[in-house]
Amino acid sequence: MNTRNVCAAVMATVAWLCLGGAALADIESIVKSCDSCHGADSLKSGSEVPAIAGLSDYYQADQLYFYRDKERPCKDAKTSSGVVTNMCNVTADLSDDQIDALGAHYAALPFVAAKQEFDAALAAAGQKIHERDCEICHTEGGSNIEDDASLLAGQWMGYLKVTFAEYRAGEREQPEKMQTKIDALSDDDIKALMHYYASQQ
């Protein structure tokens, strides 16, 4: 286990202990609810459901705050029990402490790259595009957790497709330099990038 994972595990333990008995049970209940879409340990296969285990506690919590404050698009999805909901509804009543504890919980879990099909030729083309346009922020092929820029390598391709579409449509806030890069990409470029990230398993 590397130093960052050790720190994440310690932070998760501290966060859970600080919450106390009743709040701890509450967080456990929330995690079970998260599992209904993301799967146990965030390993569920889903076309548009991201793998979230292993992302930094800062990034995890930040995204939950964005959803709670409706600063990210909230598309409906169906849970394993058939209930239709979205991330804005899921986070609406979460306190800051609960969000921070959830971030620490998922950060302490190991990231497992999605096992999915990809086109090798497209992946090779996508690698060149990544190295030209994306590597400066998403280092190590988009696999470096310490970037605090999500994890692109090994992410579900369906989720990447939705995410690229949101950025291109201006539905998600992004740095100006990223917007410039996204705007310059063709549909074929984005497809190649998705296959490149999916190829890292």
pLDDT attached to residue 43: 65
The whole domain housing 34 covers 3-107
Q: Is 85 helix (H, G, I), strand (E, B) or coil?
A: strand
Q: Does the pTM exceed 0.75?
A: yes
**Based on the structure, what is the number of domains in the chain?**
2
Could you say which of 73, 107, 141 is where a domain stops?
107
Q: List the single range of 9-23, 64-78, 91-105, 179-193 with lowest mean pLDDT.
A: 9-23
Residue 115 domain flag: no
34 shares a domain with 11: yes
Beta bridge partners of 84: 78
Residues 6+ apart with CB under 8 A from 129: 185, 189, 192, 193, 196
The CATH number given to whatever domain includes residue 179 is 1.10.760.10
Question: pLDDT tens digit string along 105-147?
Answer: 999 999 989 999 999 999 999 999 999 999 999 999 999 999 9
Flag whether pLDDT at 5 surpasses 60. Answer: no
